[in-house]
Amino acid sequence: MQEFKLKSIIPTKTGFGKGVLKAGKNQKLVGLGADITASVGMNYFAEKFPERFFSLGIAEQNCIGVAAGMALSGKIPVFSTYGVFAALRTTDQIRISVCYNNLHIIIGGAHAGISVGPDGATHQALEDIAIMRVLPNMTVVSPCDATQAELAVEAAVEKVSGPVYIRFGREGVPDFTLPEMSFEIGKSQEMHHGNDATIIASGHLVWESLQAAYFLKNKGINVRVINMHTIKPIDSNAIIKAATETGAILTAEEHQIIGGLGGAVAEVVVKNFPVPMDFIGINDSFGESGKADELMKKYGLKAENIANKLLRLLERK
Q: What is the pLDDT of residue 3?
A: 81
pLDDT of 86 over the 80 cut: yes
SS3 15: helix
Helix (H) or strand (E) holding 21: helix 12-23
Write out the DSSP string of 255-277: EESTTSHHHHHHHHHHHH----E
How do residues 133-183 score in pLDDT, each as one tens digit? Answer: 999 999 999 999 999 999 999 999 999 999 999 999 999 999 999 888 889
DSSP H helices in 32-175: 43-48, 60-72, 83, 91-93, 128-133, 146-159
Q: 193-243: per-residue pLDDT in tens? A: 999 999 999 999 999 999 999 999 999 999 999 999 999 999 999 999 999
How do residues 37-70 score in pLDDT, each as one tens digit?
A: 999 999 999 999 999 999 999 999 999 999 999 9
How confident is residue 2, by pLDDT bands cut at 50, 70 and 90? low
Q: Comparing C-alpha atoms, which of 274, 300, 278, 296 is closest to residue 199? A: 278
Q: List the CATH code of the domain at 189-314.
A: 3.40.50.920
- Determine the average pLDDT of the residues in 4-30: 96
Q: Does the structure show a pLDDT above 80 at 110? A: yes
Q: For the chain, where do the domains classified as CATH 3.40.50.920 start and end?
A: 189-314
Alpha helices in 171-302 (DSSP H): 205-217, 236-246, 261-272, 292-298
Q: For 81-85, 116-120, 139-143, 270-274, which range has the lowest pLDDT when averaged over its residues?
A: 116-120
pLDDT of residue 1: 62
Peptide bond into 233 cis (omega under 30): yes
Residue 183 pLDDT: 93
Q: Are 301 and 199 in contact (CB under 8 A)?
A: no
- Provide the whole-model pTM: 0.97
CATH code of the domain occupying 11-175:
3.40.50.970
Residues 140, 165 contacting (CB under 8 angstroms): yes
Nearest to 12 by CA among 232, 287, 203, 208: 203
